[in-house]
Amino acid sequence: MTHRLPVFIFFFVCLFAMLSRAEAGFQVCNQTNNPVGVAIGHHNLTSWSSLGWWNLRPQQCQDILVGELISRYYYLYAADYNQAGEWSGDIPMCIEYQPFEIEGVGDCATRGHEQVLFYEIDTGEEKDWTEDLTIAGRVITGSRGLP
């Protein structure tokens, strides 16, 4: 009977490891005291797309993409709802003010979308990634009227 305990423990350790890997993906953590909205851009092997919005409460983490990451580079845009700040960069991508999934990144205005500047994240080809949004990374911009 005492030989079964190590087998039992080994089984649960393996099960936990499998479940942890199954939850791999792209996660964003709001490390601020304000609610934020998050949009992501990425290449899904056939085309570029941008998706949003994930609304994160203060100090909340949220899975944005589930499953192993398939690209090295991802693009993020986030808006601080209370302080009119944003996390942005220099990569233009399309958004909507309501929940959206937009194929393609060019000609946003002619296709009826807004354009904002996302920042690039180099995951180094990791299979999962967590991006922390902090006050230090935010730029105060004035109100954009995002969701």
- Tell me the pLDDT band of 23, cut-offs 50, 70 and 90: low
In whole angstroms, give the CA distance from residue 108 to residue 1.
Answer: 67
Average pLDDT of span 125-144: 80
**More reliable by pLDDT, 35 or 143:** 35
- Tell me the pLDDT band of 74, cut-offs 50, 70 and 90: very high
Residue 44 has pLDDT above 70, yes or no: yes
Residue 139 has pLDDT above 80, yes or no: no
Phi and psi, residue 111, nearest 5°: -95, 5
- The predicted pLDDT at position 11 comes to 47
Average pLDDT of span 25-31: 96
**More reliable by pLDDT, 58 or 83:** 58
Whether cis (ω within 30° of 0) applies to the bond prior to 54 is no
Close Cβ partners of 137 (under 8 Å, ≥ 6 residues apart): 87
In whole angstroms, give the CA distance from residue 116 to residue 54.
Answer: 16
| Burial status of residue 83 (CB atoms within 10 A of its CB: 0-12, 13-18, 19 or more) | middle
Average pLDDT of span 13-21: 42
- The predicted pLDDT at position 2 comes to 52
Share of the chain above pLDDT 90, in %: 68
Question: With the C-alpha atoms ordered 59, 60, 66, 67, is the resulting torsion angle positive or negative?
Answer: positive
The 8-class DSSP code of residue 136 comes to: G
- The predicted pLDDT at position 18 comes to 42
Domain boundaries, the chain: 4-140
